Structures are given as structure tokens and as C-alpha cells.
Amino acid sequence: MDMNSVLTELRQPAKASTEQGTKRSAPKPAKKAKRATVYFEVEILDAKTREKLCFLDKVEPNATITDIKNMFTKFHPQWYPARQSLRLDPKGRSLKDEDVLQNLPVGTTATLYFRDLGAQISWVTVFLTEYAGPLIIYLLFYFRVPFIYGPKYDFITSRHSVVHLACICHSFHYVKRILETLFVHRFSHGTMPLRNIFKNCMYYWGFAAWMAYYINHPLYTPPVFGEKQVRMAVIIFLFCQLGNFSIHIALRNLRPAGSKTRKIPFPTRNPFTWLFLLVSCPNYTYEVGSWIGFSIMTQCVPVALFTLVGFIQMTIWAKGKHRSYLKEFRDYPPVRSPIVPFLL
């Protein structure tokens, strides 16, 4: 074998290995180009006059209504987010703060309509004002401060034990409400219109004064059936107060702090919550029951009227919440009634 043949054989394996290496190191596929973000343009018009109030350019598609309200406030500082109601139709419903822009039935150029909700006040402030008023007003009548019943009755306590018991129950109810406002309730909406506080306070304060005037009056007469009627009424009152508190705790545990999550409320191990099996708003059921007990205890017409008016108002609220549950949750228990089992 000559030298040229040897050199040829040595070169061939090297060439094969080179070809195999070329096959192994195939070119990597090119990376896909990222999609460009499609920004939205949001035009906000006055719902009444259709006047353009502002135009927001390059709004992120995942922006929430809260984000849009904050942007709108930069153009109109007098309308802070809590005062704003943004809607898709001038006469439609307000959009929720957590609604996402790209999930709304709008194009990349969206038109929203603005309504001013008026000056706002926090729910906590409203509740504390509503509940502190009756507590103080009732005690003024109970201690018979001057200029209420006449000079000879100033600071003279009633001789009837039911009057003292009624004061304890009334005070307990509103102290409980104040403590629940501070430490239990979690509000889905942070504020309400300022004008509502005057209407609500007139209702609570006015009825408290009317009830207290008659219950603590020097000419007040105890219930017809005496101690038996009073004892039965106290049991009803305390039972319903405990039930109302238990429902508030159960509702609080459904919503984590800082969240607006809504879930179907179900009974817990607490027997007082078993009323959830039959009604959507057992807190209102227990509330009405408490005032029925107080009416039986005092046998006072203003208390009975306050109970009736409260029942009508709470029935309206309960029906609204019941409809909301049915609309939001397809598997909502059909056997439940709004406030009174099997009836209402």
C-alpha cells in the first residue's frame, strides 16, 4: 500500500465524525416574538349632559375600574373615587370596582358614563353615629334628667323592675352593635352618601326617644301578665341577641380581611347558625325576634311600631340579598326564604 492510500483511509473517519457532529448540532429554532400589548382608550362622559369629562390614553387592558377612577381623579380632584359611579350605559348599573377593563363588553376605545354620588362618609362612622345616639338618648330618659318629666321627677328612678331591665337590654343591644361595628363587620363598600346619615339618625334617634319617654315615664304601668311575661320576653330577647351575634361571626368568617369575596353562607357547628338552612338572612330574623321580645317585655306601643317598621325595612333588605344570591350562585339552596322560613 502506497502512502497516498494510507492518508486517504485516515481522512475518511474524520470526515464521517464531522458529518455526525454537524447533524447533532442542529440550528435552534428562533424564539417567538412577544405580542405587543394592546392598550385601551377610555372616554368618560357625564351621564346627564353627555359632556366629555376626560380622555384616558394608553390604559392597560388589565386595569380595574378602581384604577380608572384613580386616573379620573387626577383630572377632577373634587370627585374622589368613592364619589364616582362609572357605568357602560347612562342609566345602567354602576360597574364594580374590581371589574377588569378587558373583560367588559367594550372595544379598545371604551366609553364610560360618570355620575356623582355626592359627598361620602365611611360606613363605620355612620354605624357608630346611628348606634351611639339611641344608647345616650335612652339613658337620658332613664335617669330622668331635668326638663323631661318635670322638676319633681328629676333624677328619680322608676319603682318598676321591668323599667330597669328594659334599660339594661336596650343598652346591651346598642353596645353590642357598636362593638360589632368596630371588631366584627367587614363592609363590601367603604362609604355611603353623607345625606343618608341624617335620615338614618332621625329614624334610630327619634324612635329611641319615643320609646324611652314612655317606658321611663312616671305613669308607666308594667305588663299585664307581670313577671311571667317579662321572663319569657327576656329569654326571647337574649336568645335572638346571641343568634344575631353568631350569624355576624359566621358572615365575617366567609370574607377574608381586605377582600370582597362572596360565598354562600352555610350552617356551622354553632346551633344558632342552623337557621341558614331555612333563610338567607337569619341575622335579620334574629334582629326582628329581639325587638319582638323587647315589645313583649315593655308592652309599649312605640316599641311595637319600631319593631314593625324595622321588620318591613329588613324584609326589603333580605329580599334584595336573596335575589342577589340566586343570581350569583347557580347552586344556591332553593328551599331558603329571605327572612321568615317558608313564608317571606
Q: pLDDT tens for residues 33-50?
A: 556 678 899 999 999 999
The helix (H) or strand (E) run that includes residue 22 is helix 3-24
CA distance 53 to 58: 17
Asked if residue 203 is part of any domain, the answer here is: yes
Q: Could you tell me if 56 and 166 lie in one domain?
A: no
| Residue 35, in any domain of the structure | no
pLDDT bucket at 183, cuts 50 / 70 / 90: very high
Same domain, 295 and 318: yes
SS3 call for 340: coil
Q: How high does pLDDT run on average in the chain?
A: 89
* Shared-domain flag, residues 318 and 240: yes
Query: Which of 220, 242, 272 is a domain's end point?
Result: 220
Q: Phi/psi at 18 (nearest 5 deg)?
A: -65, -40
* Contact status, residue 106 vs residue 99, Cβ threshold 8 Å: no
Q: What are the cell numbers at 13? A: 473517519
Closest CA to 47 of 82, 94, 104, 110: 94
pLDDT band at residue 29 under the 50/70/90 scheme? low
- CATH code for the domain in which residue 74 is found: 3.10.20.90
Examine the domain organization and report whether 137 and 189 are in the same domain.
Answer: yes
Indicate whether this model's pTM tops 0.75.
Answer: yes
- What residues contact residue 226 under an 8 Å CB cut-off, 6+ apart? none
Task: State what percent of residues in the chain have pLDDT above 90.
Answer: 71
**CA–CA distance, 136 with 124 (Å, rounded to integer):** 18
Q: Burial letters for 271-283: b for 16+ Cβ neighbours within 10 Å, e otherwise?
A: ebbebbebbbbbb
Same domain, 230 and 331: yes
- Which of 174, 210, 206, 195 is CA-nearest to residue 287? 174
Task: Say if residue 251 is in the same domain as residue 333.
Answer: yes
pLDDT tens for 258-304 read 666 788 999 999 999 999 999 999 999 999 999 999 999 999 999 99
Domain-located, residue 192: yes
Tell me which DSSP letter residue 34 carries.
P
| Pair 79, 113 in one domain | yes
Range of the domain at 61: 40-118
**Residue 26: what pLDDT?**
59
Question: 136 in a domain, yes or no?
Answer: yes
Q: Are the beta carbons of 63 and 100 closer than 8 angstroms?
A: yes
DSSP-based three-state secondary structure for 339 = coil
Q: Is 181 helix (H, G, I), strand (E, B) or coil?
A: helix
CB contact set of 85 (below 8 Å; sequence gap of 6+): 94, 114, 115, 116, 117
Residues 229, 319 share a domain: yes
pLDDT band at 9 (very low <50, low <70, confident <90, very high): low
Whether 21 is covered by a domain: the verdict is no
Among candidate residues 118, 146, 176, the one where a domain is terminated: 118
Domain stops at, among 118, 148, 167: 118
Residue type, 34: K
Q: Among all chains, which residue has been given the C-alpha cell 368613592?
A: 82
Asked if 152 and 111 sit in the same domain, the reply is no
Q: Is 5 within the bounds of a domain?
A: no
Residue 198 belongs to some domain of the structure: yes
pLDDT of residue 11: 52
- From residue 232, alpha-carbon distances to 39, 172, 238, 269 in Å are 67, 18, 10, 26
Is residue 13 assigned to a domain? no
Q: How many whole angstroms separate alpha carbon 125 and alpha carbon 105?
A: 36
Q: What confidence tens digit (pLDDT) does each residue in 63-110 have?
A: 999 999 999 999 999 999 999 999 999 988 899 888 899 899 988 889
Domain shared by 337 and 241, yes or no = yes
Count of structural domains within the chain:
3
147 and 213 assigned to the same domain: yes
- Whether residues 329 and 250 share a domain: the answer is yes
Q: C-alpha angle 47/52/53, rounded to 5°? A: 85
